[in-house]
């Protein structure tokens, strides 16, 4: 029994080490290296045949010049700040849109809830790229949105939405909305309606009961949904590239350009390491929140 338990425990740790920790060490090594010509895009190389002397020479050649370069160049820290800002605003907008939907699903008749759940998950059945490209046709100057607003007489000239931060917000909110709705819905579905009735019996209005009872009891779902949206949105690359254009500054686009346009792997790896460190903070907070929720349920 102990051997079986140890084996089951080792599987996720092996998965984590093989597919995260080892690749992360490789990226860190490249980030501490230097670009050189006529060799693969980083140096130094580890010469195992040289033994201990080769190992010492390898570590002695590593440096933090790439991280220093990131700190000195305005482009990178502005990209980090812009990414945090866009991710935070997108998360807030997703919460404002997703919470009423989740609340409506939780308040609907039980026989309708599976259908509503399927409608929320339905966009995942379509390719992510196709959904983002569809927004190009909707938000462009000759797109469906502008044509519809002009047909209604609301506007006389097309609105410039595509290739702006507004288009990025729309794309992120649309793409990650299910990640906000599902955890909030899971929390609201377990809410005991008798608590709301008791609050109203004690003199609370429906609005007061909502803010004093529903919101606090759904806090776990709100926090989980915000983390599930904020973490991937921070490093988003496809949506800013297709909907935001060249004026939208996000660290995911900078990372892509360093790897595939500039071919500067050490600097790109340094950018990736710092981005990962920024993501670790909300991930740790999310894990602690989930652990507290499990302990509270027990």
DSSP state of 141: T
Has residue 154 been placed in a domain? yes
Asked if residues 250 and 167 have their Cβ atoms less than 8 Å apart, the reply is no
Look up residue 171 and give its two tokens: 């794309």
pTM over cut 0.95: no
- The total number of structural domains in the chain stands at 1
Has residue 66 been placed in a domain? no
Has residue 8 been placed in a domain? no
Please tell me the predicted confidence (pLDDT) of residue 37.
Answer: 67
Has residue 18 been placed in a domain? no
Flag the least confident range among 4-8, 20-24, 101-105: 4-8
Element housing 288 (H / E): helix 265-297
Whole-number Å distance between alpha carbons of 138 and 37: 45
Residue 86: pLDDT over 90: yes
Q: What is the DSSP string of 58-116?
A: HHHH---HHHHHHHH-HHHHHHHHHHHHHHHHHHHHHHHHHHHHHHHHHHS-GGGHHHH
Has residue 2 been placed in a domain? no
| CATH code at position 138 | 1.10.3720.10
At 230-245, the pLDDT tens digits run 989 998 988 998 898 7
- Residue 172 — very low, low, confident or very high, per pLDDT cuts 50/70/90? very high
What is the sign, positive or negative, of the torsion defined by CA atoms of 94, 97, 99, 105? negative
Has residue 190 been placed in a domain? yes
Has residue 90 been placed in a domain? yes
Please tell me the predicted confidence (pLDDT) of residue 1.
Answer: 64
Residue 264: pLDDT over 70: yes
Has residue 33 been placed in a domain? no
Domain that holds residue 213: 72-297
């Amino acid at each position: 029994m102990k051997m079986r338990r140890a084996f089951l425990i080792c599987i996720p740790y092996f998965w984590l080490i093989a597919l995260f920790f080892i690749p992360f060490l490789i990226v860190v090594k490249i980030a501490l290296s230097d670009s050189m010509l006529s060799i693969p895009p980083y140096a130094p190389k580890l010469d195992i045949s040289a033994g201990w002397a080769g190992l010492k020479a390898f570590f002695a050649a590593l440096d933090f010049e790439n991280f220093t370069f990131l700190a000195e160049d305005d482009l990178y820290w502005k990209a980090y700040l812009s990414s945090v800002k866009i991710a935070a605003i997108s998360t807030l907008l997703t919460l404002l849109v997703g919470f009423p939907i989740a609340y409506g699903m939780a308040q609907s008749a039980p026989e309708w809830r599976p259908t509503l759940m399927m409608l929320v998950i339905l966009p995942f059945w379509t390719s992510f790229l196709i959904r983002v490209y569809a927004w190009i046709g909707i938000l462009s100057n000759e797109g469906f949105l502008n044509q519809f607003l002009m047909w209604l007489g609301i506007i006389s000239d097309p609105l410039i939405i595509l290739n702006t931060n507004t288009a990025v917000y729309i794309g992120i909110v649309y793409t990650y909305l299910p990640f906000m709705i599902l955890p909030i819905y899971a929390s609201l579905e377990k809410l005991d309606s008798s608590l709301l009735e008791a609050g109203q019996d004690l003199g609370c209005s429906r609005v007061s009961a909502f803010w004093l009872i529903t919101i606090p009891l759904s806090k776990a779902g709100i926090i989980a949904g915000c983390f599930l949206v904020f973490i991937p949105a921070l490093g988003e690359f496809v949506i800013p590239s297709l909907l935001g254009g060249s004026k939208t500054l996000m660290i995911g686009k900078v990372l892509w350009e360093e790897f595939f346009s500039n071919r500067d792997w050490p600097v790109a790896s340094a950018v990736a390491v710092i981005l990962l460190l920024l993501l670790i903070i909300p991930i740790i907070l999310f894990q602690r929140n989930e652990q507290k929720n499990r302990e509270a349920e027990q």
